[in-house]
Amino acid sequence: MTEPDPQAVAEASAQAMWQADAASQGLGLRLVRVAPGEADLAMRIEPRMANGFGACHGGFLFALADSAFAFACNSFGRPTVGQACTITYLRPGQVGETVTAAARLVAEAGRSGVYEVRVTDAAGKVVALFQGQSREVAGNRPGP
């Protein structure tokens, strides 16, 4: 019996998650790419996302990074949740620009994993760095 293609598993997991992910869809996020242990999501910063300084509210950048983290850690077809995370904001996201969150698995041990997510602007400058710890849980694969 042959092993399932890891890329096919990542794509199927992402598709199932996306169908049930009202939060990411409601924020206008776009799933750009998924691969085993990786996911890239993009978000256009809209005027409704501006904080009192006229820059993107950090909560929206966090949500983008967190969603990329979720798609990356569920790309193996095993139900996985976030256990802990941190984010460092390095520069403001500007209204009207598109930012991209690129999540990558950097280490794993047993049912736990560590992912780094780089949120960058269109010029490739880092807007924020996010680190998430994942934990595989019992249950069915992601999605409805």
Task: Please report, for the domain that includes residue 108, its CATH number.
Answer: 3.10.129.10
Total count of domains within the chain = 1
Which DSSP category does 46 fall into?
Answer: -
Task: Give tens-digit pLDDT for 32-78.
Answer: 999 999 999 999 999 999 999 999 999 999 999 999 999 999 999 99
Asked if residue 144 belongs to a domain, the reply is no
Asked whether 111 and 136 are in contact (CB, 8 A), the reply is: yes
- Tokens 């019996």 locate to 1
- CA 42 – CA 72 distance, rounded (Å): 14
Any domain includes 143 = no
| pLDDT score, position 1 | 74
Residue 14 lies in a domain: yes
Residue 135: partners with Cβ closer than 8 Å, 6 or more residues away: 80, 81, 82, 83, 111, 112, 113
CA distances from 144 to 18, 20, 22 (A): 9, 6, 12
Task: Please state the pTM of the whole predicted model.
Answer: 0.94
In a domain, 141, yes or no: no
In a domain, 142, yes or no: no
Give the domain extent around 79: 6-136
Strand partners, 10: none
